[in-house]
Amino acid sequence: MMPEDEKSQETLVDQNAEPADKAAPKEAATAPEPATEGGGSALAEELLYLRAEFENYKKRMEREQDRAIRFSNEKIIGELLFVIDLFERALAHGAALKDGNKDVKTFAEGVEMTHRELLQILSRFGVEMIGTEGDAFNPAWHEAISQQATSEDKANKVLSVVQKGCRLHGRLLKPAKVIVGKADPNFEEKE
Question: Count H helices, E strands: the chain?
Answer: 4, 6
pLDDT mean across residues, the chain: 79
Domains of the chain, earliest start first: 74-183 (2.30.22.10)
Question: Which pLDDT score, from 0 to 100, does residue 99 have?
Answer: 67
Q: Which residues contact 115 (CB under 8 A, 6 or more apart)?
A: 84, 87, 88, 91
pLDDT for 53-67, tens place per residue?
999 999 999 999 988
Instruction: Give pLDDT, residue 63.
Output: 92
Q: Is the pTM of this model over 0.85?
A: no
Percent of the chain beyond pLDDT 70? 75
CA distances from 130 to 113, 136, 173 (A): 20, 12, 10
Confidence at residue 4, expressed as pLDDT on a 0 to 100 scale: 52
pLDDT greater than 50 at residue 26: no
Give the tens place of pLDDT for each residue, 177-190: 999 998 887 777 66
pLDDT value of position 33: 52
Return the sign of the alpha-carbon dihedral for residues 148, 151, 156, 157.
Answer: negative
